[in-house]
Amino acid sequence: MLGESKAFSGFSVDDIKKAKNFYGGTLGVRVTEENGMLTLHLAGDTNVLVYPKDNHTPATFTLLNFPVDDVDRTVDELVARGVTFERYEGFEQDEKGVSRAEGYPVIAWFKDPAGNVLSVIKV
């Protein structure tokens, strides 16, 4: 029934202006704004809705993964743009915050201004 629907995901933030600056400016994602909400236009014709929520609570899991060819280079570029990478117990991470655990993809986590967890992950 819904197999042909062009479904999309969405998540909340507590400040649309900060989110727009972060996703559009810091991360370089194409962002449009309509009706007080943002649409992140990602590669592969994928859109993600970002909507304001007064009582926003950040997700405790990764909401959005950005596949990249070179995690180290991407981490360095994002750090230069002011992004801080997270450290999590139970994951061995190097000085940059990159996890290279055997049997898992190379990945590094960071948060948006609303506290939502994002990652850059080796493709």
Is the pLDDT confidence value at 122 over 90?
A: yes
The values of phi and psi at residue 120, to 5°, are -110, 135
How do residues 2-47 score in pLDDT, each as one tens digit?
A: 888 888 899 999 999 999 999 999 999 999 999 999 999 999 889 9
- What value does the mean pLDDT take over residues 44-60? 94
Q: List, for residues 93-119, the tens digit of each pLDDT value.
A: 999 999 998 889 999 999 999 999 999
Looking at residue 96, its pLDDT comes to 96
* Burial tier of 95 (Cβ tally within 10 Å: 0-12, 13-18, 19+): exposed
Tell if the pTM clears 0.75, that is, is over it.
Answer: yes
* Amino acid letter for position 121: I
pLDDT in tens, 62-79: 999 999 999 999 999 999
Distance CA 84, CA 110 (A): 6
Which residues are registered as beta bridge partners of 118? Answer: 64, 110
Please tell me the predicted confidence (pLDDT) of residue 99: 96
Per-residue pLDDT, 44: 86
3-state SS, residue 101: coil
For residue 123, how far is the Cα from the chain centroid?
15
